[in-house]
Amino acid sequence: MEIFDYEDIQLIPNKCIVRSRKEVDTSVEFGGRTFKIPVVPANMQTIIDEPLAKWLAANGYFYVMHRFEPERRAAFIKQMHEDGLFASISVGVKDEEFAFIKELAGAQLNPEYITIDIAHGHAQIVMDMIQHIKKYLPDAFVIAGNVGTPEGVRELENAGADATKVGIGPGKVCITKIKTGFGTGGWQLAALRWCAKAARKPIITDGGIRTHGDIAKSLRFGATMCMIGSLFAGHEETPGKKVTVDGKRYQEYFGSASEYQKGDHHNVEGKKMLIPLKGHIADTLKEMQEDLQSAVSYAGGRDLAALTKVDYVIVKNSIFNGDQY
């Protein structure tokens, strides 16, 4: 297998067929709905909260609510549905999560999307949870992960997952690779390609995206959707705590397996960092869309399909060449 990551790849342009980048359609169909761009903020407590989830759903973006305030999830689903919006929640795999799915079914609360969110998703318990959800909430679109191998993707798909999430340890606040020696950190893009070749259903690539160009590269190598944490951290609307250091404003961004999330120091595989505040998330989403429109025009197309077949070269860490954005 050829090993590379985002920085190692440059996509090769084709003849432009649009008169303006504004003609380019960046929308994506995912789980029966169409979203403006193939991007979803990470389901982490410093990245998404209920007000932001509502805003994203109401404005044509996909979202996945985190699972770290488990007692709020039923009311959240109810409220989203009362407001005419889709509900997209996360669950874990502990016993109480199996009971929670039964409770939702009993209360006739049917979230449109359920993400099974655990660190090592290639596990029998995850397949059990997929089947449990399909039994009690058969209309839910089930996203399962995270995995980092084609076997992982296939097994979760065969268990009934409607989409899989790929990425073990490439995240900005991840320390899995340091603490355990395992993962796709440093070769997430190649791992995505490896997994996508085996997939029969959509893949969400998760972690490691550092620039807007990395979204186009993810689509080239098989992703339908990109889950992003660090690029969304540091906005007025993201919920991480805002702090001032030496007169500069920052926002906390911490891992879901960090001691800040867990409240203790067992099996810690995440850290905390401060991200400079950078304005409103609507502006970043708009810029992502414009950059993606531009990428599609370089690919020689009018929609995201054009990105899936472009040629590329492997430049091995040389593209920034000392340049900074």
Ligand X SMILES: Nc1nc2c(ncn2[C@@H]2O[C@H](COP(=O)(O)O)[C@@H](O)[C@H]2O)c(=O)[nH]1
Residue 251 contacts ligand X per CB under 6 A: no
Tokens standing for residue 305: 């399909």
Residue 90 contacts ligand X per CB under 6 A: no
C-alpha distances (whole Å) from 262 to each of 89, 161, 271 are 19, 27, 11
Decide: helix, strand or coil at residue 167.
coil
DSSP 306: G
Regarding beta strands 242-245 and 248-254, do their DSSP bridges make them parallel or antiparallel, or are they unpaired?
Answer: antiparallel
**One residue of 34, 59, 158, 267 binding ligand NDP per CB under 6 A:** 267
Shortest Cβ distance from residue 39 to ligand NDP (Å)?
17
Shortest Cβ distance from residue 51 to ligand X (Å)?
20
**One residue of 121, 148, 171, 301 binding ligand X per CB under 6 A:** 171
* Rg of the chain in Å (alpha carbons): 19
Of the pair 30, 298, the CB lying nearest ligand X is at: 30
Residue 144 contacts ligand NDP per CB under 6 A: no
DSSP 196: H
**What, of ligand NDP, ligand X, none, does residue 300 touch, CB below 5 to 8 Å by kind?**
none
**What, of ligand NDP, ligand X, none, does residue 34 touch, CB below 5 to 8 Å by kind?**
none
Shortest Cβ distance from residue 315 to ligand NDP (Å)?
26
**Is residue 267 reached through a cis peptide bond, with omega within 30 degrees of 0 on the bond before it?**
no
Residue 118 contacts ligand NDP per CB under 6 A: yes
d(CA 130, CA 158): 10
d(CA 230, CA 217): 17
Shortest Cβ distance from residue 36 to ligand NDP (Å)?
25
Binding residues for ligand X, rule: CB under 6 A, are 42, 44, 146, 167, 169, 171-174, 176, 206-209, 227-230, 255-258, 269-270
